[in-house]
Chains A and B, each alone.
Chain A
Amino acid sequence: QVQLVESGGGLVKPGGSLRISCAASGFTGSDYHMTWIRQAPGKGLEVISYISSIDHYTHYADSVRGRFTISRDNGKNSLYLHMDSLRAEDTAIYYCARGNHAPGYGAGCPDYWGQGTLVTVSA
């Protein structure tokens, strides 16, 4: 069955860096777009980045562009998010998700989600 497992979250100081990972199983990662979505405590959902399946086109939300970098290793069926210059407002649960039902552009809608990894940015 499809599984997505995030790892690498933790406590980091403002201005610091962190890399979180997502291990996929039960499907061929290279066939799907992959997305990072975050949810601040008690708040809603925000798509922060995605990477396309074939040409590795990447997209970033304005809130993270220039600070975060998404990448994927199809051979390892893994997705990564490298986060630099972290701020308190980046504190959130970070979910990786598989994109599906795409209209030919964009990442589609996430049909499978991981359990999330908590990133806390605090001094």
Chain B
Amino acid sequence: IQMTQSPSTLSASVGDRVTITCRASQSVSDWLAWYQQKPGKAPKLLIYEVSRLESGVPSRFSGGGSETDFTLTISSLQPDDFATYYCQQYNSYSPTFGQGTKVEIK
């Protein structure tokens, strides 16, 4: 299953509402996760099962969608949120990631 994220890069300011899109080449049902990765660090799980917030993740992060089309929204971008974000499907025996979306400072 191919996962395609858009945009590849997003320029935004602190306080902006930001939405990243992830599209699957076939249905992944609700088995979709989102990760945040900062330079030199391992990815961090933010959301699983489309919209379930991992423990400790701020509520400004939210996920939505179903089947093939999904979104990650940051309601009010904070300085700590500038990073690269990846979606991942785990609906098959071959889990796959999107190519990533870099959120940079405008």
Contact = CB atoms under 8 A, between A and B. Distances in A.
Interface of A: 44-47, 50, 59, 61, 95, 100-103, 105-111, 113-116
A107 B95 contact: yes
B90 A102 contact: yes
B91 A113 contact: no
B97 A45 contact: yes
Interface residues of B, number: 26
Contacts of A103: 29, 31, 90-91
A113 B90 contact: no
Interface stretch (B10-18, B40-48, B60-68): B40-48
A106 B97 contact: no
Contacts of B29: 103
A61 B93 CA distance: 10
Given A106-B95, A111-B45, A45 B90 contact: no
A109 B44 CA distance: 11
A52 to B, nearest CB: 10
A59 B95 CA distance: 10
A84 to B, nearest CB: 21
Contacts of B45: 109-111
State the 7 A-B residue pairs at the shortest beta-carbon distance, nearest first: A113-B42, A109-B33, A45-B97, A101-B48, A47-B95, A111-B45, A109-B90
Interface of B: 29, 31, 33, 35, 41-45, 48-49, 52, 54, 86, 88, 90-100
Contacts of A115: 41-42
Contacts of A102: 90
B93 A116 contact: no
A109 B28 CA distance: 13
A108 B95 CA distance: 8
Contacts of A100: 48
A108 B52 CA distance: 14
Contacts of A101: 33, 48-49, 52, 90
Contacts of B33: 101, 109
Contacts of B48: 100-101, 109, 111
